[in-house]
A = this chain, B = another copy of it.
Amino acid sequence: MPPRIVLSALPDIPIVKPGDDLATLILESLERAALQLTEGDILVVTQKIVSKAEGRLIHLSTVEPSAEAHLLAKESGKDPRLAELILRESRRVLRTRPGLVIVEHRLGFVCANGGIDRSNVRGEGKDPDGWVLLLPENPDGSAQLLRDRIRARTSADVGILIIDSHGRAWRQGTVGVAIGLAGMPGLLDLRGTADLFGYRLQATEVAVADELAAACSLLMGQAAEGTPVVHVRGVRFDRREGSLRDLLRPADQDLFR
Contact = CB atoms under 8 A, between A and B. Distances in A.
A2 B216 CA distance: 14
Contacts of A109: 170-171
A196 B224 contact: yes
A129 B193 CA distance: 17
Q: How many copies make up the complex? A: 2
A9 interface: yes
B170 A256 contact: yes
A219 interface: yes
A209 to B, nearest CB: 8
Interface stretch (A60-68, A83-91, A172-180): A172-180
A173 B210 contact: yes
Interface in A205-220: 205-208, 210-212, 214-215, 217-219
A71 interface: no
A247 interface: yes
Interface in A188-215: 188, 190, 193-197, 199, 201-208, 210-212, 214-215
Contacts of A223: 190, 193-195, 201, 204
Interface in A22-74: 33
A121 B187 CA distance: 25
A35 to B, nearest CB: 8
A247 B197 contact: no
Interface of A: 1-11, 15, 33, 95, 97, 99-100, 102, 109-110, 118-122, 129, 165, 168-177, 186-188, 190, 193-197, 199, 201-208, 210-212, 214-215, 217-219, 221-225, 227, 234-235, 246-249, 254-257
Listed from nearest, the 4 A-B pairs whose CB atoms lie closest are: A173-B207, A215-B215, A169-B256, A214-B214
